[in-house]
Amino acid sequence: MEKVKLLSCHQVYTLKRKTLEKRIKNYYFQTRDEQDTIQFLIALQVRDELGKEDFSFVLRDLVRKIFLESKPTRALRSYYIFFKDYFTLKEWRVLSIRLFPVKTFVKEKIEKLYTRFFKMPLKGLVGS
C-alpha cells in the first residue's frame, strides 16, 4: 500500500484549490483520519478569510460525509461549529443531536419544564 503523505503548512497555504481538494480527498479515503482531514479544511477556511482565492465551501460533500456518517468523536464535536454553513437547518439539528445526544435530551427536557412551570403560570398573573 502506498504511504500517504501529509500536507505541509506551506503547501496548505500555497497550493491551488483543485490540487488541495484532490490531495485532501485522497488522504482521507486512504487513511480515514477524520481529525486531520477536518483540521486541513479549517486551515483552508482561514486561508479563505485571509487570502484572495476562493476557498469557501471547499470539499463540502466530504465534510458532510464525515460529519453525517462517521462515528461521533471528540474531534468532530470540537470542530463541527466551523462547518455550520455546510448544512441546512434541518441537517444541522440532526447533526447536533447525533454529536451531543445527552446534552440535547437534557436541554429539551429543561426547556419543557421551564415552559411548563415558569412561563405558563406567570401568563395567568399578568391579566390580574
Contact 63, 45 (CB under 8 A): no
Beta carbons within 10 angstroms of residue 15's beta carbon: 16
Rounded-to-integer distance, Cα 59 and Cα 111, Å: 36
**For residue range 83-92, what is the model confidence (pLDDT) as tens digits?**
999 999 999 9
Domain ranges, ordered by start, for the chain: 1-87, 88-128
This prediction has a pTM of 0.74
Q: pLDDT digit string (tens) for 61-84?
A: 999 999 999 999 999 999 999 999
What pLDDT, on a 0 to 100 scale, did the predictor assign at position 101? 82
Q: Which residue has the cell 446534552?
A: 103
In a 13 Å sphere around the CA of 120, the CA atoms on its Cβ side amount to 7
Q: Are 100 and 76 in contact (CB under 8 A)?
A: no
Low-confidence residues of the chain: pLDDT under 50: 1
pLDDT of res. 116:
73
Q: Which SS3 state, helix, strand or coil, does residue 44 take?
A: helix
Rounded distance between C-alpha atoms, residue 102 and residue 108, angstroms: 10
* pLDDT given at position 112: 79
Instruction: Output the nine-digit C-alpha cell for 37.
Output: 482531514
pLDDT of residue 127: 56
The pLDDT value recorded for residue 89 is 95
